[in-house]
């Protein structure tokens, strides 16, 4: 076996020198391939780069016919080079011409070379090209040689990504990396945003690729790995609610990977080959991602994303960098791209700089999406591949109407969207004009449109949207974005601010609704829950911890002194719970009046209908409260046994189906019979088509995200409600496999020219 001349360390050092020199791009590539060939004692070294038309073009060669450069081309999947690019896997062959995929390109003169080693040029798991070495003799390249060539390929990936090669492109042909792509997902929040990509967990750009001293670098790696392991152990040992259930499973997986010998060995090997510890992390991760890209097994894919996160954490450890620097460097038109994000994390970004949100995961009723909707951010979710296809700073368009994301759009797409934005602006103008008109159907029936809110940032929307009031104020959001329990004074201050902003319009405060998927990182639960959605949450939790409820009630009573106070209890399962809560509320009222506090002029207590058990206590419920509000997000989740946060089943059942609409109609009828006002404040109220269905089964008050009020009002002012009620009655009476209420509604809208 012949030795590599000087070994990979020397090669990497030479490459570093060459990258720093002021050379023309072609000259630089030529010298790089020459250097690699010499160093690896290969007769040939060639670099193929993937173009946006899926063709691999020979960009530089040492050893093959030089006139073939920029002429020799292979399609993706064609020949050995095309196979490597398509599979993102290396090929190591002692007799290349015997390989079934071998394709002979006469212009290259490669027929005399037998052994062949080709590796993909990868960046963040995407193939940008292929790097090949060849020899005349039939030999098998050693594992360390393959490893060395992969390392060199990473350096080349960086060169391609930084755009140094753009000048070598033929006119009209671009490198694949710059290719315009359109990704499809689900429209989570309406609106169109044009701007530039900001990766929420930005792939850390490693600029320092080569180490000076491997031993020192191995030590750095070891230190970073140990503190990574420690931080995970630490998180696991804190038995907090936030780290239970799924979070815990993720952390367990992290711990397993962080201690995985294979992973650590590959990292060490890359460092021994001359990379810095951070460049090693990136290389190992990129290889792994490319290898696992074609996997369909959801469990393994999930683990892959854990491993990605872990690699990112390790990079941060190595670079000693926190997540904070990002907000400062934010462009003024940021399109956030993330695998997933917590509601609080989104609120860390300054709203005025955000134009859109793209999530690889997320579900339409998850909290990040509710917050995105609350702040009116165009959002597309379930966009597979978004994170690896996007680079920081790429131009991007988020279409929250059609659920599409355009990365690096071509000028015609951009022009079309600029027009779309103008069109939407005209529509917004119509909504604004509607704002001060009465919310009345075409046949003269009044419908009250309320808005949902949860934070002080939502309040200006009350005037802007023309809402009649706040139908659901999610008080837990203040708790969720804080790092410790908000003190009584802070709670009171927020509630007072809300009531002042509402200026006499009704506000329904929902008492704290935590548990389930709404976790407070600082609040310890007594035990791990198998099924948090069915667990110790909302009113169950507050009745068990009355101190929490009492503090909140007192803050609300004080803030509402001299005004009406509407309180709503979440996740009620039996009427007795309302009575228990009422007893706590009454006690607080007595307490405050004893100390001569100004009390609310009127106190109304309502309950949310979210748990199916209430459907069989409707008469008693209506007697026990002053109003009810249907939480359709949770009610639908429990009625259909469909986790509202699980994207895989998010679209499986339709809330606009006969059984669910029958349930909702039954609730309205029970309210009418008892004279108890009924509203609905789940996400169902916010889409014109589903809002139309709700009106058609008898709802006359609904509450939604502020941005939905315009479109819903535009729908209802054109709506002949009497006619729709007749259509709905008939549709709900005759349920068969063929019934499609959504389609019936769309047809009705088309016939009556109702904008949906």
Q: Which of 633, 647, 708, 744 binds ligand PEP (CB under 6 A)?
A: 633
The three-state (H, E, C) secondary structure of 432-491, written as one string: HHHHCCCCECCCCCECEEEEEECCHHHCHHHHHHCCCCEEEEECHHHHHHCCCCCCHHHH
Find all residues with CB under 8 Å of 499, minimum gap 6, and list them: 507, 559, 560, 563
Instruction: Examine residue 185 and tell whether it contacts ligand PEP (CB under 6 A).
Output: no
Instruction: Examine residue 682 and tell whether it contacts ligand PEP (CB under 6 A).
Output: yes
**Would you say 376 or 631 has its CB closer to Mg ion?**
631
What does the alpha-carbon distance between residue 753 and residue 751 come to, in Å, rounded to a whole number? 6
What does the alpha-carbon distance between residue 201 and residue 323 come to, in Å, rounded to a whole number? 8
φ/ψ region of 385 (left if φ > 0, alpha if ψ in -120 to 50, else beta) reads left
Beta-carbon neighbour count of residue 219 at 10 Å? 13
Q: Which of 31, 203, 266, 474 binds ligand PEP (CB under 6 A)?
A: 474
**Would you say 47 or 572 has its CB closer to ligand PEP?**
572
**Would you say 588 or 634 has its CB closer to ligand PEP?**
634
Instruction: Examine residue 391 and tell whether it contacts ligand PEP (CB under 6 A).
Output: no
Instruction: Examine residue 610 and tell whether it contacts ligand PEP (CB under 6 A).
Output: yes
Residue 632 interacts with which of ligand PEP, Mg ion, none, CB < 5 to 8 Å by class: ligand PEP
Is residue 88 within 8 Å of 293, Cβ to Cβ? Answer: yes
Residue 163: strand, helix, or coil: coil
Binding range to ligand PEP, per CB under 6 A, among 16-24, 147-155, 625-633, 658-666: 625-633
Instruction: Examine residue 306 and tell whether it contacts ligand PEP (CB under 6 A).
Output: no
The nearest distance, CB 605 to ligand PEP, in angstroms, is 17
What does the alpha-carbon distance between residue 194 and residue 204 come to, in Å, rounded to a whole number? 24
**Would you say 631 or 706 has its CB closer to ligand PEP?**
631
- Asked if 45 is an active-site residue, the reply is no
Active-site annotation holder among 200, 367, 406, 735: 367
Instruction: Examine residue 683 and tell whether it contacts Mg ion (CB under 5 A).
Output: no
Is residue 686 within 8 Å of 712, Cβ to Cβ? Answer: yes
Instruction: Examine residue 631 and tell whether it contacts Mg ion (CB under 5 A).
Output: yes
The nearest distance, CB 644 to ligand PEP, in angstroms, is 8
CA atoms within 13 A on the CB side of 241: 21
Instruction: Examine residue 287 and tell whether it contacts ligand PEP (CB under 6 A).
Output: no
Determine the Cα angle at 580 with ends 575 and 582, to 5°. Answer: 95
The three-state (H, E, C) secondary structure of 67-91, written as one string: HHCCCCEEECCCHHHHHHHHHCCCE
- Asked if 591 is an active-site residue, the reply is no
Binding range to ligand PEP, per CB under 6 A, among 156-164, 491-499, 629-637, 688-696: 629-637
Find all residues with CB under 8 Å of 436, minimum gap 6, and list them: 466
From residue 233 to residue 272, the character string flagging contacts with ligand PEP as x (rule: CB under 6 A) and all else as - is ----------------------------------------
Instruction: Examine residue 539 and tell whether it contacts ligand PEP (CB under 6 A).
Output: no
What does the alpha-carbon distance between residue 438 and residue 452 come to, in Å, rounded to a whole number? 20
Active-site annotation holder among 45, 200, 406, 681: 681
Instruction: Tell me the number of residues near Mg ion by CB under 5 A.
Output: 2
Is residue 516 within 8 Å of 537, Cβ to Cβ? Answer: yes
And the tokens for 578?
């309302």
Instruction: Examine residue 632 and tell whether it contacts ligand PEP (CB under 6 A).
Output: yes
Find all residues with CB under 8 Å of 278, minimum gap 6, and list them: 204, 206, 208, 315, 318, 319
Is residue 709 within 8 Å of 449, Cβ to Cβ? Answer: yes
Instruction: Examine residue 634 and tell whether it contacts ligand PEP (CB under 6 A).
Output: yes
The nearest distance, CB 510 to ligand PEP, in angstroms, is 8
Instruction: Examine residue 681 and tell whether it contacts ligand PEP (CB under 6 A).
Output: yes
Instruction: Examine residue 634 and tell whether it contacts Mg ion (CB under 5 A).
Output: yes
Binding range to ligand PEP, per CB under 6 A, among 14-22, 269-277, 434-442, 626-634: 626-634
Instruction: Examine residue 458 and tell whether it contacts ligand PEP (CB under 6 A).
Output: no
- Indicate the residue whose CB is closest to Mg ion: 634
Question: What residue ranges bind Mg ion (CB under 5 A)?
Answer: 631, 634
Question: What residue ranges bind ligand PEP (CB under 6 A)?
Answer: 472, 474, 513, 610, 631-634, 681-682
Hey, which residues are catalytic here?
Answer: 367, 681
């Amino acid at each position: 076996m012949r030795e590599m001349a000087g070994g990979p360390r020397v090669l990497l050092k030479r490459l570093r020198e060459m990258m720093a020199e002021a050379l023309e791009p072609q000259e630089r590539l030529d010298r790089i391939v020459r250097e690699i060939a010499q160093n690896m004692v290969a007769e040939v070294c060639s670099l193929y780069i993937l173009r946006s038309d899926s063709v691999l073009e020979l960009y530089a060669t040492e050893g093959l016919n030089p006139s073939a450069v920029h002429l020799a081309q292979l399609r993706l999947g064609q020949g050995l080079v095309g196979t490597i690019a398509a599979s993102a896997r290396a090929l190591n062959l002692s007799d290349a011409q015997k390989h079934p995929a071998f394709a002979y390109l006469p212009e290259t003169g490669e027929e005399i070379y037998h052994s062949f080693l080709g590796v993909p040029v990868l960046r963040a798991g995407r193939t940008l090209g292929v790097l090949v070495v060849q020899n005349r003799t039939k030999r098998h390249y050693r594992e360390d040689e393959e490893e060395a060539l992969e390392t060199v390929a990473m350096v080349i990936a960086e060169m391609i990504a930084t755009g140094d090669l753009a000048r070598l492109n033929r006119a009209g042909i671009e490198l694949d990396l710059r290719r315009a792509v359109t990704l499809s997902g689900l429209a989570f929040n309406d609106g169109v945003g044009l701007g530039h990509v900001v990766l929420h967990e930005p792939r850390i750009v490693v600029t320092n690729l080569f180490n000076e001293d491997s031993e020192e670098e191995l030590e750095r790696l070891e230190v970073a790995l140990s503190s990574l392991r420690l931080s995970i152990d630490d998180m696991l040992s804190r038995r907090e609610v936030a780290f239970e259930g799924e979070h815990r499973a993720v952390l367990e997986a992290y711990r397993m990977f962080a201690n995985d010998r294979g992973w650590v060995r590959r990292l060490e090997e890359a460092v021994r080959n001359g990379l810095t510890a951070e460049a090693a992390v990136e290389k190992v991760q990129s290889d792994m991602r490319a290898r696992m890209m074609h996997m369909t097994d959801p469990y393994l894919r999930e683990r892959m994303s854990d491993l990605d996160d872990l690699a990112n954490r390790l990079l941060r450890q190595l670079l000693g960098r926190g997540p904070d620097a990002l907000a400062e460097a934010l462009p003024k038109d940021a399109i956030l791209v993330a695998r997933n994000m917590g509601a609080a994390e989104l609120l860390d970004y300054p709203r005025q700089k955000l134009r859109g949100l793209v999530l690889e995961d997320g579900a339409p009723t998850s909290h990040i999406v509710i917050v995105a909707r609350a702040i009116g951010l165009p959002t597309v979710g379930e966009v597979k591949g978004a994170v690896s296809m996007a680079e920081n700073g790429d131009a991007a368009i988020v279409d929250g109407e059609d659920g599409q994301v355009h990365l690096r759009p071509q000028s015609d797409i951009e022009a079309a969207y600029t027009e779309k934005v103008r069109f939407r602006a005209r529509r917004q103008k119509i909504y604004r004009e509607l704002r001060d008109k009465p919310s009345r159907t075409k046949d003269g029936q009044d419908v009250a449109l309320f808005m949902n809110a949860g934070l002080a940032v939502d309040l200006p929307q009350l005037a802007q949207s023309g809402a009649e009031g706040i139908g659901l104020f999610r008080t837990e959001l203040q708790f969720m974005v804080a790092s410790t329990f908000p003190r009584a004074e802070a709670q009171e201050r927020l509630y007072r601010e809300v009531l002042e902003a509402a200026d006499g319009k009704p506000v329904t405060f929902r008492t704290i609704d935590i548990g389930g998927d709404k976790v407070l990182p600082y609040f310890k639960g007594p035990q791990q829950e198998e099924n948090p959605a069915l667990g110790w949450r909302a009113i169950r939790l507050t009745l068990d911890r009355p101190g929490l409820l009492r503090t909140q009630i007192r803050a609300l009573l004080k803030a509402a002194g001299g005004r009406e106070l509407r309180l709503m209890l979440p996740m009620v399962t039996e009427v007795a719970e309302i009575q228990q809560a009422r007893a706590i509320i009454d006690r607080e009222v007595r307490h405050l009046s004893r100390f001569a506090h100004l009390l609310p002029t009127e106190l109304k207590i309502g309950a949310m209908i979210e748990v199916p058990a209430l459907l069989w206590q409707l008469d008693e419920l209506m007697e026990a409260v002053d109003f009810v509000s249907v939480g359709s997000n949770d009610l639908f989740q429990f009625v259909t046994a469909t986790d509202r946060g699980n994207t895989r089943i998010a679209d499986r059942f339709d809330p606009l189906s006969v059984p669910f609409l029958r349930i909702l109609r039954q609730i309205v009828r029970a309210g009418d019979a008892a004279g108890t006002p009924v509203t609905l404040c789940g996400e169902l109220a916010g889409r014109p088509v589903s809002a139309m269905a709700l009106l058609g089964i008898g709802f006359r008050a609904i509450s939604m995200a502020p941005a939905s009020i315009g479109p819903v009002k535009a729908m209802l002012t054109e709506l002949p409600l009497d006619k729709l009620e007749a259509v709905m009655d008939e549709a709900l009476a005759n349920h068969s496999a063929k019934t499609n209420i959504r389609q019936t509604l769309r047809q009705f809208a088309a016939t009556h020219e109702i904008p949906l």
